[in-house]
Chains A and B, each alone.
Chain A
Amino acid sequence: AQSVAQPEDQVNVAEGNPLTVKCTYSVSGNPYLFWYVQYPNRGLQFLLKYITGDNLVKGSYGFEAEFNKSQTSFHLKKPSALVSDSALYFCAVRSLTDSWGKLQFGAGTQVVVTP
């Protein structure tokens, strides 16, 4: 069975400071990893993915994430947070052995960026 843990319910950061949202996963075999963001009363918006290759992946809106196989982690980062980054962030995993492609999501981390 696959699972995703987002250990922080909420992350508070001042605008201009670095932002990190943590994610660890458990999956059979190699993972496909994703980050999504959700604004109030909206669907999920894709930010970035790790499939293979370079462990540091870059995505939309200045976000990046680092895949660490030994620590089974895929933390989301942004060097300088904006107030508009305040939203709910979800990490998701898919196993390469799952040909149907369903995603297993974490419970989400609320990011609050203060001016």
Chain B
Amino acid sequence: DTGVSQDPRHKITKRGQNVTFRCDPISEHNRLYWYRQTLGQGPEFLTYFQNEAQLEKSRLLSDRFSAERPKGSFSTLEIQRTEQGDSAMYLCASSLEVGATYEQYFGPGTRLTVT
């Protein structure tokens, strides 16, 4: 169990550019979540995958955001035409809902700065 990994750890981009983040969940986990965390706040839910199916999207996820999880393995989160308000920490989490194991395990996050 190597934990959840995210790449890159930091991304600085200019407003209007597109960015893509990658998340590799714990290998046997079937559920994958994306959250966004801004300074001084707790993480906010963005979207959820069960295997390769994207089953829920938050209203925070505007049309500029898209997420995929091909083959139910790693996931990508793309932001098109970035805006300064997109600056945040983007967190990925995975879980395996078996028995009473409902906790989500988080990656280190990708910190996005839009200039």
* A67 interface contact, C-beta 8 A: no
Alpha-carbon separation in the docked complex, A39 to B70 (Å)? 31
Q: Is the CB of A49 within 8 A of B42?
A: no
Q: Which of B42, B45, B100, B108 is the one whose CB lies under 8 Å from A90?
A: B42
Number of chain B residues whose Cβ lies closer than 8 Å to a Cβ of chain A: 29
Q: Which of B4, B35, B42, B56 is the one whose CB lies under 8 Å from A106?
A: B42
Q: Is the CB of A44 within 8 A of B95?
A: no
Q: Is the CB of B45 within 8 A of A102?
A: yes
Interface residues of B in 23-79 (CB under 8 A from A): 31, 33, 35, 40-45, 48, 50, 55-56
* A43 interface contact, C-beta 8 A: yes
Which residues of A are found within 8 Å of B35, using beta-carbon distances?
103
Which residues of B are found within 8 Å of A36, using beta-carbon distances?
106
